[in-house]
């Protein structure tokens, strides 16, 4: 074990210890809502998984996948990954878990529209399950084949990503509009049932994570408790799904299977080595313009930049892999701006999350939906890109969710206040961290 590995392990232990201590303080001080809605917490958490942990297991995993890189490349990519995580961790330490008092029942003027859209989305998800479910189930043993079928026949044809976003919106609004005794898990099960079945057959984890995380946040708000252990259980379930899917009973090699199950972390981290080793680069100016246009419908971007190629596709072609690599925030910055922008980028990303955490507009329903969708999307940003993903959530709120943004611009979800009143003590820590 090298000095760098020991350094990463030491920093990892510091982060875990700090996060646990801060969670306990949030429960004691009545800042549960501020803790779970702090984007810096999720930014540093995903940085811990994809950058720090991914770096620790990357070399062994890369050998398994057949990748080889020079010592210079490994040194630079490892250093950048650690640098990014330290900046994200520092932003979390510097941020504050705001004192937000959650309104247990919120009048939502757009609720009728939300429910109508929810019924339509549920029927569409059910149709996908009926039409494509048998094929997905029959192909479930071959992950490559089932993924290719999903992309070719479901993801784009049925606007699957948009469908899930709408279902999450329906879940959020139904829970916020209900009384304090509502069970968010029951509402989630009813709304997401067809999607859960599709994802289990598909073997996907990204959509499941978004669903689990939305249920976690809303449940914590409604019950005024911090169910971090249940969030941990969700991560264990998702990891278990990956382990079961990849277990080769013929070889019974648990170590190899575990590395394969962690392939998302390994391959995501490996993209940085690929970009540096092969000198991959793109136009930072064109990417900046494309990022600004992410606030507009996608057709505008496609019209102005018809020949643009995302860096993820370039990396995948260079590695001769059809899928699975993705990217990460380090790879994105280095590809479009070289080492100077790679050193600047984590400060910009951390500053965005820090300012979003302190923004006042997030106390009203449209702002709350925006910050929650940013939190739900941070995992995808961490393993793909930030600068073209973050603006799309502004576009989401001002386009697909426009009826909520306009009708409920004054619907207050939180009010700020001091410490929790003495006659209303913090809840028992049965489900707390």
- The DSSP-derived string for 304-317 is H-TT---HHHHHHH
pLDDT of 396: 92
Three-class SS of 55-80: HHHHHHHHHHHCCCCCHHHHHHHHHH
**H helix or E strand, kind and range, residue 409:** none
Q: Is 0.85 surpassed by the pTM of this model?
A: yes
Q: Report which DSSP code applies to 426.
A: P
* Residues in the chain, pLDDT under 70: 235, 237-261, 294-308, 322-324, 416-433
| Alpha-carbon dihedral sign for residues 327, 333, 338, 344 | negative
Strands of 41-200, DSSP E: 100-102
Rounded CA-CA distance 142/273 in Å is: 28
pLDDT of 246: 54
Rounded CA-CA distance 93/390 in Å is: 22
Rounded CA-CA distance 254/247 in Å is: 7
Residues 6+ apart with CB under 8 A from 285: none
Q: Which residue(s) pair with 411 in the sheet?
A: none
pLDDT of 427: 45
pLDDT of 340: 96
pLDDT of 417: 56
Angle between helices 206-223 and 184-202 (to 10 degrees): 170
Rounded CA-CA distance 203/261 in Å is: 12
pLDDT of 317: 86
């Amino acid at each position: 074990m090298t000095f760098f590995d020991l350094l990463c392990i030491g920093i990892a232990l510091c982060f875990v210890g700090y996060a646990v201590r801060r969670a306990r303080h949030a429960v004691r001080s009545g800042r549960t809502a501020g803790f779970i809605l702090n984007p810096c917490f999720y930014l540093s958490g995903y940085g811990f998984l994809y950058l720090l942990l991914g770096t620790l297991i990357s070399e062994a995993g890369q050998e398994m996948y057949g990748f080889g890189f020079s010592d210079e490349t490994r040194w630079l990519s490892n250093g950048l990954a650690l640098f990014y995580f330290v900046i994200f961790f520092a932003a979390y330490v510097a941020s504050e878990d705001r004192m937000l008092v959650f309104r247990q029942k919120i009048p939502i003027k757009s609720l009728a529209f939300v429910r109508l859209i929810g019924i339509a989305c549920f029927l569409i998800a059910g149709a996908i399950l009926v039409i494509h479910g048998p094929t997905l189930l029959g192909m479930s043993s071959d992950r490559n084949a089932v993924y290719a079928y999903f992309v070719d026949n479901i993801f784009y044809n049925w606007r699957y990503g948009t469908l899930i976003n709408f279902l999450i919106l329906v879940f959020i609004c139904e829970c916020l509009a209900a009384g304090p005794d509502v069970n968010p898990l029951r509402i989630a099960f009813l709304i997401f049932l067809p999607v859960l079945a599709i994802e289990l057959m598909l073997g996907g984890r990204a959509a499941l994570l978004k669903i689990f995380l939305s249920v976690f946040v809303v449940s914590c708000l409604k019950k005024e408790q911090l169910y971090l252990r249940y969030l941990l259980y969700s991560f264990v379930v998702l990891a278990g799904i990956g382990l079961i899917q990849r277990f080769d009973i013929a070889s019974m090699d648990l170590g190899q299977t575990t590395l394969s199950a962690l392939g998302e972390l390994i391959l995501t981290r490996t993209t940085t080595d690929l970009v540096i080793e092969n000198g991959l680069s793109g136009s930072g100016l064109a990417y900046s313009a494309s990022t600004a246009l992410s606030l507009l419908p996608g057709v505008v971007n496609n019209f102005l930049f018809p020949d643009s190629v995302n860096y993820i596709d370039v990396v995948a072609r260079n590695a001769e892999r059809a899928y699975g690599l993705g990217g990460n925030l380090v790879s994105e910055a280095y590809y479009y701006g070289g080492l100077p922008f790679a050193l600047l980028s984590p400060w910009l990303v951390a500053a965005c999350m820090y300012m979003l955490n302190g923004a006042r507009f997030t106390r009203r329903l449209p702002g709350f939906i925006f910050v929650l969708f940013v939190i739900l999307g941070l995992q995808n940003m961490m393993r793909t890109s930030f600068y073209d993903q973050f603006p799309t959530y502004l576009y989401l709120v001002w386009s697909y969710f426009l009826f909520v943004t306009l009708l409920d611009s004054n619907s207050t979800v939180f009010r700020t206040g001091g410490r929790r009143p003495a006659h209303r003590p913090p809840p028992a820590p049965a489900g707390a961290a």
